[in-house]
Amino acid sequence: MVTHIIRNPNYVDDIHNSFASQGILRLLGAKLERIEPGYVEVSLPFRQELTQHTGFFHAGATTTIADTAAGYAAFTLIPPQMTVLSVEFKINLLNPAQGERLLAKGRVLKSGRTLSVCEASVMAYKENQPIECAHMLQTMITLPS
């Protein structure tokens, strides 16, 4: 089990405020589900407006919540007055993203002073049965906010 160093005692409030300020997340209807040191979950309920031509969740919506969950996982470990931005990521779309909702689980693999490496898995829930539909590996940079 990895032990993370908390540098900002107000990280939970800061994440809630940052999440609420993002127009794309409001547009999609994404919700914060869980925040822990080095770990964040973001959910996305199904809506027809989020689908692609075959009726599955669009890869853009899936990628957005994976990026968000992993990014906020990195955010839990940075100092106050700092923020994170995605530098790069790779996402594998493993199965069709279909069901009542998606749940992205972001976690920090390595938290550095400037760069952090994170991952996110996205689970699609159909009739309460989860199946991993995407997996992301991501690098975040820490910058002054």
Q: Which two tokens stand for residue 6?
A: 């908390």
* Residue 86 backbone dihedrals phi, psi, to 5 degrees: -70, 130
pLDDT at 3: 83
| Three-class DSSP labels, the chain | CCCCCCCCCCHHHHHHHHHHCCHHHHHHCCEEEEEECCEEEEEEECCHHHECCCCCECHHHHHHHHHHHHHHHHHCCCCCCEEEEEEEEEEEECCCCCCCEEEEEEEEEEECCCEEEEEEEEEEEECCEEEEEEEEEEEEEEEEC
pLDDT at 23: 98
First to last CA, the chain: 30
Which regions of the chain are under pLDDT 70? 1
pLDDT at 2: 72
pLDDT at 97: 98
Residue length of the chain: 145
Query: The domain at 11-144 falls in which architecture?
Result: Roll (3.10)
pLDDT at 107: 98
Encoded amino acid at 9, one letter = P
Note the pTM of the prediction, 2 decimals: 0.96
Q: Which two tokens stand for residue 127?
A: 């009739």
Please report, for the chain, the start and end positions of each structural domain, with discontinuous segments joined by +: 11-144
pLDDT at 59: 98
Find, among 44, 14, 41, the residue nearest to 29 by Cα: 44
